[in-house]
Amino acid sequence: MLYQLHEMQRAFLRPLVAFSDAGSQLFSSPYSPLAYMPMSRQLAAGYELMHRIGKEYQKPAWGLPETEIDGKPVRVVEAVAVDKPFCRLVHFQRDARLVAKRKDPRVLLVAPLSGHHATLLRDTVRALLPAHDVYVTDWVDARMVPLSAGPFHLDDYVTYIQEFIRELGPDVHVISVCQPTVPVLAAISLLASANDPMQPRSMVMMGGPIDPRESPTQVNRLATTKSYDWFESQLIHAVPPAYPGAGRKVYPGFLQHAGFMAMNPDRHLKSHYEFYLDLLRGDDSDAEAHRRFYDEYNAVLDMPAEFYLDTIRVVFQESRLPEGTWEIGGQLVRPADIRKTALLTVEGELDDISGQGQTRAAIKLCSGIPAARKTHYTATGAGHYGIFSGRRWRELICPKIAAFIRAS
C-alpha cells in the first residue's frame, strides 16, 4: 500500500513541479521581461529549488562520449555485451583503430546494487578509460523486470558475476565497489574451488563489507539491531500496476533514498540552502555542480526483495563469508582456495559506510594468495564516495589500481 501512496503523491505533485519549473524559467530567462523585475532572481531561485526538491529523477546518462589517450581524444561508444533480465554488461568501446596496438588490460567493474544506478561510478569509469578496456555491470531497476523473469537472490548475483567473468575471459581484472565486494569474492572463490580456467588475473575490493563486524558503522548497526522479520515487513512492498514489474516484491528506491537523506540531514539541508544562495549570487559553476550531484544522488532504483533480504541475513546478520558458513548451490564459499588471482583492498580513512578493516579482512580470508600478490591501501582523508569519485580517486587511488593491475 505504501508504494501506491507514494505514486499518488508523485501524481499530485506533478502539476506543482511543472509550475515551479515554468516559474523558474519565467523569472530567469533573458527573453522574459519578468526576469528584469525587482526580486526576479529571488523568485527564480525559489522556484528552481522547489522544482528540484519535488521532481522525479530518472536514471542519468553515462555521458562519456570520449576519452583521452596519449594526449589525443578517442571516441567511446556504449555497447551491451551481455543482456540479462536483472543486469546489462555495458562495454565502453574505444576507437579500435587507436587502441588495437596498446593491449590495455580488460577490466570488469562491478557496480553496487544498493539504491543508486551504476552511473554513480561515472568518475570511476572516466579515470579508467584511458588505459583500460572497461566493462560495467549496469543493474536494472527491479520495477522494470516482469514477474516472468523470476526472483533474484544474492546467489543469483554471484552467478551473474561468474558468467560475466567467463564472458570476458581469464585475462580479466575485476574491480568491485562497496556492496559487490562480498558476492564478487564469493564468485571468484567458487571458480578457484572448481579450478575453473576462467579465474581472473586480479581482483580489487573497494570499501565493502567483507567482514561488517570490523569497525561497525551506522549502516552495520541498523542491519544487526533490527530483526530479519522487521526488514521484511517494513521495507518490502509490491510494485504497483503502472510498471512492467507489477506485483514484484522490492525494496523501493524512494525508501532507500529517504534512508540516505536521513543519515546526513543537516548536510543536505545546508547543501540546498547554499544552492539557493549560489543562484542568488549568479554563481553558475557551483549551482551546476549541485545539480549534477543531486541528479545522480536522487536517482534511485528498486532492489529485488529476495536479494536485499539475503544481503541483510547473509552479509550483515550472520557474517557467513568471514565465518566460513556460506554455501551456494551446495558448495561452501572458501576464499582460501584462491591462489591464482592477485588481490588489492582499498579503504577510505573516513568511510562512514564500510568502516576501517571491513574490506581489508579479505587479505586474511584469502590465505592461499601469496603475500607478494596481495596488498592493502588506505586512502588518507577519503570518505566512502572519495575512494571511487573525485580528486583523491583520480590522483591517488586510480594510479595505484592501474599499477597493481599491470603488475598482475
**pLDDT above 90: residue 8:** no
For residue range 299-322, what is the model confidence (pLDDT) as tens digits? 899 999 999 999 999 999 999 999
Q: Are 21 and 51 in contact (CB under 8 A)?
A: yes
- Per-residue model confidence (pLDDT) at position 218: 87
* Helices 154-168, 181-193: inter-axial angle, 10-degree rounding: 60
Q: How much is the pTM? A: 0.92
Three-state secondary-structure class, residue 332: strand
Instruction: Provide the CA 124 distance to its chain's centre, in angstroms.
Output: 10
Structure-block grid coordinates of residue 362: 579479505
Q: Name residue 225's amino acid.
A: T
Strands 303-304, 327-328: pairing is unpaired
The span from the CA of 332 to the CA of 335, in Å, is: 10
149 φ/ψ sector (left φ>0, alpha ψ -120 to 50, else beta): alpha
Q: Which pLDDT score is estimated for 9?
A: 80
Where do the domains of the chain lie?
A: 1-54, 66-407
Alpha-carbon distance of 300 to 82, in angstroms, equals: 23
Place of cell 583492498: 345
Residue 282 DSSP label: T
CATH of region 66-407, choose from 3.20.20.80, 3.40.50.1820, 3.40.720.10, 3.90.1170.50: 3.40.50.1820
Other CB atoms within 10 A of residue 96 CB: 8
Q: Which residue has the cell 525508501?
A: 255
Tens digit of each residue's pLDDT (9 = 90 or more) over 247-274: 999 999 988 888 778 777 888 899 988 9
The answer on pLDDT for 54 being more than 90 is no
